[in-house]
Amino acid sequence: MQEEHKPFICVKQGWSMKIVPRGAAGWRSFGMWMMGFGIVLAIFTVTTPRLEDRDFQAGAVVAFLSATAIWAVAMIRWMLRRSEIVDLNELMEIKRQNDHRRSNGGRREY
């Protein structure tokens, strides 16, 4: 996928990672993922209170939480593959090198 057509930006700094929609295509894609989750959440919210057996209710909650975890991991992986990745640690290293060069008056150290 070409860089200019990627609908998300992933900003990484160490183990921290933030994925942000980029432009209309990114927001549409994110909205579709959230709409899918909203439908599952609505079904869960409507059907679970109607279950009379507490074991079935507990099973429904466990199933919903498991499905939510799987959904979240799938969405993150999908978005990450379609993201332009910006590594802040790498950018800070480049900035330190440039600052060091400027402080030496443009002289190179050998």
The verdict on pTM exceeding 0.75 is no
Q: How many CB atoms lie within 10 A of CB 8?
A: 22
Q: What angle do CA 81, 62, 31 make, to 5 degrees?
A: 35
For 38-96, the pLDDT digits (tens) are 999 999 999 998 988 999 999 999 999 999 999 999 999 999 999 999 888 877 777 78
Task: Give the per-residue pLDDT at 110.
Answer: 55
Task: Give the per-residue pLDDT at 90.
Answer: 78
Task: List, in sequence order, the alpha helices (H) in the chain.
Answer: 23-47, 54-81, 88-103
Task: Give the per-residue pLDDT at 82.
Answer: 95
